[in-house]
Amino acid sequence: MTQTLDRSAVPDGTPSALSVIDTDVHEMIGNPLEFLQYVEEPWRGRIHPDNWMGISIPYSWPTTGGLARPDARPTNGLRAGSDYQLMRTQHLDAFNIKHAVLTGLLYPSEFKVQPDFAVGLSQAYNRWVVNEWLAKDSRFLGSICVAAQRPDDAVAEIEKWASHPQMVQVLLPVISHDTMGRDYYHPIYEAAVRNNLVVGFHQGANVETAVGLPTYFLEWHTAISQAWQCQLISLVVHGVFEKFPDLRVVMIESSWTWLPHLMWRFDHNYRSLRREVPWVKRLPSEYIRDQVRFTTQPMEFAENPDHLYQMFEMVGNDEFLMFSSDYPHWDFDAPDRSLPSSFPPDIRRKVLHDNAAKFYQLGAAR
C-alpha cells in the first residue's frame, strides 16, 4: 500500500465514514482482443499493429509508473484500470465509493481524420462498457461515448443508451482544433437535455495550449486547463447555455482554481463587449454558476490552506465542486486527502457526496 493510500493519516474532521461519489474513474481496455470483439466491420479489420494502434499522449511520462499509479497495475501485466476486481478492492471498497462515474479514455471525438471510424469506435466503446463494466457493479455510472464530429450519429448513440439505468452523461473530449459552442454541436446538447443527461468534458489526449504542444510534459500539465477554459468560454459566448437552460455541464479534470479569474475577466469583458454577442443575455458567471460543475482532481495545493478555501468561496456557489479521484492515474487524489483542512465539514460533505448526488440526480432509485 502506497503513501497515497495510507488511511492512518486521515486529517481531523474528515468524514471517513461518509460515502463518496467519485466523478472521474478511468476504466481501461486491458486486452485489445477482448475490445475488438465489440468493434464492427469494416472498422475491426482496420485496427492492427501495422495501422491504427490506439490513442496516446505525445509525451513520455516522467513518473515512475508512467501515466498510472504503479500499484494499480494488475498482476497480469495489462493496463492499470483494466481489472475490475483490483479496482473494486483498491478503490471502491477501500474508500467507501457509493458511485463511480466511469470516464474511460477512448474519445473518438478528438480524431481529426476518418469520422466514420470514430463513430464505429464510439459504438464499440458503449457496448463494451455496458457489458464489461456497468453489468458487473451497480456502483458504476456510465458515460455515453460519441463522435461529436458526426452530430447525427452522436445523437443516435445518445438515444440508443440514454435509457440504460446507469448511464448519466454524454462525454466529450476537450480538444484544441474546434470550439464546442458552435451551432454544429448543438444537436448533441439538445439530445442530452432531452434525455436528462449531463454533458461531461474530459481532457483529450492531444489537447494543446496557447503555444501548441509545449516542450516538456511539466509545461503541458501546468497549462492544460487552458483548453477547458476556452471551451467553457465558447459555450457561453455561442449562447449554448442561453439556448439550453436545462443543460448541465461538468468540466472533469480541468482543475478549478482558475475559475474566479475567468469569471471576473469574462464578466468585465462582457459588460464592455456584449454588443458583439447580443444572444448572450446574462452575465457569463451566472450561466457558469447555474449550469456548470467542476471536479476536484487535480487539486492544487496552496502553501496556506486558507487561501484554497478563499478561492473556493470566491466562486460564489458551494455546489460547484464535486470530488474526483482520477483513479488509476499517477496524480490520483484519495477522497480523505483531496481537500485541505481549511474546508469545513459541511463543505467536505457537499464536495465528497452531496453536490454530485444533486447534479447527477442520484436519488433513491440509485
**Interface residue list for a copy of itself (CB under 8 A):** 62-63, 175-179, 181-182, 207-212, 214-219, 221-223, 225-227, 229-231, 233-234, 237-238, 255, 257-258, 260-262, 264-270, 272-277, 298, 300-304, 307-308, 310-311, 314, 316, 330-331
Which residues are paired to 295 by β-bridges? Answer: 322
Q: Please, which residue, 23 or 203, has the CB nearer to a copy of itself?
A: 203
Cα gap 217→168, rounded to integer Å:
32
Dist. CA 171–CA 148, nearest whole Å? 10
Residues 361, 68: Cα–Cα separation, whole Å: 30
Smallest separation, CB 214 to a copy of itself (Å): 6
E-state strands within the chain: 20-25, 97-102, 140-145, 167-174, 198-203, 249-252, 292-295, 321-322
Give the integer Cα–Cα distance in Å for 222 and 59: 14
CA distance 107 to 170: 11
Q: What is the chain's alpha carbon radius of gyration, rounded to the nearest angstrom?
A: 20
Q: Please, which residue, 119 or 288, has the CB nearer to a copy of itself?
A: 288
Provide the minimum distance between the beta carbon of 61 and a copy of itself in the complex, in angstroms, as a whole number: 9
Of the pair 166, 226, the CB lying nearest a copy of itself is at 226
Q: CB 62 → a copy of itself: shortest distance, Å?
A: 4
Rounded to 10°, the helix 225-237/284-291 angle is 110
Q: How far is the CB of 38 from a copy of itself (least distance, A)?
A: 32
Quote the least distance from Cβ 173 to a copy of itself, whole Å.
13
| Least spacing, CB of residue 115 vs a copy of itself, in Å | 19
Return the number of the residue (16 or 222) whose C-beta is nearest a copy of itself. Answer: 222
- What the block records as the C-alpha cell of 124 is 464499440
Please say which residue, 46 or 182, places its beta carbon nearer to a copy of itself: 182
In whole angstroms, how close is the CB of 212 to a copy of itself at the nearest point? 7
Q: Given the complex with a copy of itself, which of 158 and 288 has the nearer CB atom?
A: 288
The CA distance from 245 to 169, in Å, is 17
What angle, rounded to 10 degrees, do the helices at 305-315 and 259-273 form? 30
User: What is the distance between the terminal CA atoms of the chain, rounded to a whole angstrom?
Assistant: 31
Using the minimum distance from each CB to a copy of itself, give the nearer residue, 143 or 231.
231
- Rounded to whole angstroms, the Cα distance separating 277 from 306 reads 38
**Closest CB 218 distance from a copy of itself, rounded Å:** 5
Least distance between a copy of itself and beta carbon 287 (Å): 13
CB of 19 to a copy of itself, least distance (A): 28
d(CA 87, CA 76): 14
DSSP string across 137-173? -TTEEEEEE--TTSHHHHHHHHHHHTTSTTEEEEEEE
Q: Which sign does the torsion angle of CA 28, 30, 35, 36 carry?
A: positive
Amino acid, single-letter form, for residue 190:
E
Q: Indicate the residue among 226 and 324 with the shorter CB distance to a copy of itself.
A: 226
For residues 153 and 192, the answer to whether their CB atoms sit within 8 Å is no
The residue among 74 and 260 lying less far from a copy of itself, judged by its C-beta, is 260
Q: Which residue has the cell 440509485?
A: 366
Nearer to a copy of itself, 142 or 284 (CB): 284
